[in-house]
A = this chain, B = another copy of it.
Amino acid sequence: MPLVVQKYGGTSVGTAERIRAVAERVRRTRESGYEVVVVVSAMGDTTDRLVELARSVAPEPDRRDYDLLLSTGETQSTALLSMALKAIGCPSISLAGAQLGIKTDRVYSRARIMDIQPDRLKAELANGRCVIVPGFQGVTDEGDITTIGRGGSDTTAVALACALEAPKCEIYTDVDGVFTADPRIVPTARRLSSISYEEMLELAQMGARVMHPRAVELAELYSLLVEVRSSFNDHPGTLIDRGDAMESRKHVRGIAHDTNVAKVTLAGVPDCPGLAHALFAPLAEAGISVDVIVQAASIGGLAEISFTVSRADLNQAMQVVEKIAAETGASVAHGTASLAKISIVGTGLQSAPGYAARMFGTLAEHGINIDMITTSDIRITCVIEESAVEEAVQALHTTFELDKED
């Protein structure tokens, strides 16, 4: 029998009723001839409540204790889904985090998966059972529980699918799949029937939240077929795979936006070798993830560097930068939190001329000022004022004819 790994997110298992609905779906999958491994997230706001509890007993909770605490949310969903399956006559078994065979390093709260030995999991599948497992966690060689941080359960699902050599991994969420743009902003946004790993990665990194980029990368590495679809209906989802042949028919596949953007600018910096290193090394040490970086042409030997961070990191980034400004004699640094990123994504975008020009032209027509620009092979991103995001997404969706069928 073919094996499928299904992952259900926190909203999909958010209530007892939804857990029962997921159980029905798992049973149908099994009855249509599949072996099924199910990876679940914690119910709804469980993780948030645990985080709050932790903060109220310790201002900066020890990461190892914290991981043990958070891991219980996924374990609860696992046990509940397994009992819901048995209640409707579907053979199932729940495994605890330590039983998955997912070995990680000891970097608590953002552990990396080192090895997967899913012997128990295979044995239970061979027994004809659906196997229900908690996402987001692993164990160290000493049996200490870790959580894998970013991408959590998506990454668990993809990693298990790869280790079990499953032909397919299904990511169930609360939307129908990957859209050409956020349907809440663009009513004519279409679901994409398929998308390449690369495109998905860019969309995910640029703000489309259906699947975590870390999980997409892992799927690409193992050429695992992934489908993102809704747990609330039976509509087809979006397939993520290697993508079309070398020349894709349409270059722009989707528009992503992200309003969690803050910008820091350091002006009047002496333009000398090592400046970027002096600036970004302390930011990295402080654990601040820097996204778009722009260095303006040096005028009179003084440079201007701007970069974006997530809004939560702005205050900390400003502290680091003000210290460096004082040390280097830069004229003052300033930060702003009212920005957003907007990106067009598509394979081969860079090699086909004119896309950047069309993007900038569209924004100009709408009087939207571009603050920063950054590009990759398959993406062009502009940083703009947050207030202009909706208009920009709608305009670009029309410009690139994303409301029309492929």
Within 8 A of B (CB), among A62-105: 62, 64-66, 68-69, 71-72, 75-76, 78-84, 86-87, 93-94, 96, 98-99
Contact between B96 and A145, CB atoms less than 8 A apart: yes
- For the complex with contacts A96-B143, A99-B143, 8 further pairs of A-B residues with Cβ separation under 8 Å are A50-B76, A54-B80, A58-B83, A60-B87, A62-B82, A64-B93, A68-B94, A120-B142
Q: Determine how close the nearest CB of chain B comes to the CB of A129; give it in whole angstroms.
A: 12
Hey, which chain B residues are within 8 Å of A65, CB to CB? 79-80, 82-83, 86, 94
Hey, which chain B residues are within 8 Å of A7, CB to CB? none
Contact between A57 and B87, CB atoms less than 8 A apart: yes
Chain B residue nearest to A82 in the complex (CB): B65
CA distance A81 to B54 in the complex (A): 9
Binding site for B on A (CB under 8 A): 16, 19-20, 23, 50, 53-54, 56-62, 64-66, 68-69, 71-72, 75-76, 78-84, 86-87, 93-94, 96, 98-99, 120, 142-145
- Interface pairs A-B: 5 shortest CB-CB: A69-B79, A58-B87, A16-B56, A72-B72, A65-B83
CA distance A99 to B145 in the complex (A): 10
> What is the predominant secondary structure among interface residues of chain A facing chain B?
helix
Q: Determine how close the nearest CB of chain B comes to the CB of A387; give it in whole angstroms.
A: 40
Contact between B19 and A57, CB atoms less than 8 A apart: yes
Kindly report how many copies of this chain are found in the complex they form together: 2
CA distance A120 to B143 in the complex (A): 10
Hey, which chain B residues are within 8 Å of A20, CB to CB? 57
Q: Determine how close the nearest CB of chain B comes to the CB of A79; give it in whole angstroms.
A: 4
CA distance A81 to B65 in the complex (A): 9
CA distance A144 to B64 in the complex (A): 22
Tell whether A87 pairs with B68 under 8 Å between CB atoms, given A50-B76, A143-B98, A143-B99.
no
CA distance A121 to B238 in the complex (A): 49
Hey, which chain B residues are within 8 Å of A71, CB to CB? 75
* The residue from B54, B62, B79 contacting A68, defined by CB atoms under 8 A apart: B79
Q: Determine how close the nearest CB of chain B comes to the CB of A104; give it in whole angstroms.
A: 14
CA distance A60 to B87 in the complex (A): 7
CA distance A197 to B62 in the complex (A): 40
CA distance A81 to B62 in the complex (A): 11
Hey, which chain B residues are within 8 Å of A75, CB to CB? 68-69, 71-72, 75
Contact between A58 and B86, CB atoms less than 8 A apart: yes
Contact between A64 and B94, CB atoms less than 8 A apart: yes
Tell whether A69 pairs with B80 under 8 Å between CB atoms, given A53-B16, A57-B20, A98-B143.
yes
Hey, which chain B residues are within 8 Å of A93, CB to CB? 64
Chain A to chain B contacts (Cβ below 8 Å), 30 pairs? A16-B53, A16-B56, A19-B57, A20-B57, A53-B76, A53-B80, A54-B83, A57-B80, A57-B87, A58-B83, A58-B84, A58-B86, A59-B87, A61-B87, A62-B82, A64-B93, A64-B94, A65-B79, A65-B80, A65-B83, A68-B79, A69-B79, A69-B80, A71-B75, A72-B72, A75-B75, A96-B144, A96-B145, A99-B143, A120-B143
Chain B residue nearest to A56 in the complex (CB): B16
CA distance A61 to B88 in the complex (A): 11
Hey, which chain B residues are within 8 Å of A143, CB to CB? 96, 98-99, 120
Hey, which chain B residues are within 8 Å of A53, CB to CB? 16, 76, 80
Hey, which chain B residues are within 8 Å of A81, CB to CB? 57
Hey, which chain B residues are within 8 Å of A16, CB to CB? 53, 56-57
Q: Determine how close the nearest CB of chain B comes to the CB of A106; give it in whole angstroms.
A: 13
Hey, which chain B residues are within 8 Å of A19, CB to CB? 57
Hey, which chain B residues are within 8 Å of A23, CB to CB? 57
Contact between B72 and A57, CB atoms less than 8 A apart: no
Hey, which chain B residues are within 8 Å of A99, CB to CB? 143-144
